[in-house]
Amino acid sequence: MVRHGDKEAAVRRLLDTPHPPVPPGLGARAAALGGRVRRRRRTARRAGAALAGLAALCFAVWAAEARPWEPPPAATTPPFAGP
């Protein structure tokens, strides 16, 4: 089992080594990528909301026409008990 002090010493050794150089323009490229990801997610969210609204509208129109809450008409007419 690794003790807390061993982990801390390993991290300190890792941080004491020289860091690799950062490529120029890395921050700008990361910001551009983040912007693209944000726009794609926003577009997907809006498309999903529009699709959900369209599905709700289609369901409402179908329900108004089909009236699924009413019992279906009888297949045969009841017998006539006339005079």
| Reported confidence tier of residue 83, pLDDT bands at 50, 70, 90 | low
pTM: 0.59
pLDDT score, position 20 = 84
pLDDT score, position 73 = 79
Segment 13-40 mean pLDDT: 93
- CA-nearest of 36, 55, 32 to 44 is 36
Give just the sign of the alpha carbon dihedral 60, 62, 65, 68. negative
Give just the sign of the alpha carbon dihedral 23, 25, 27, 31. negative
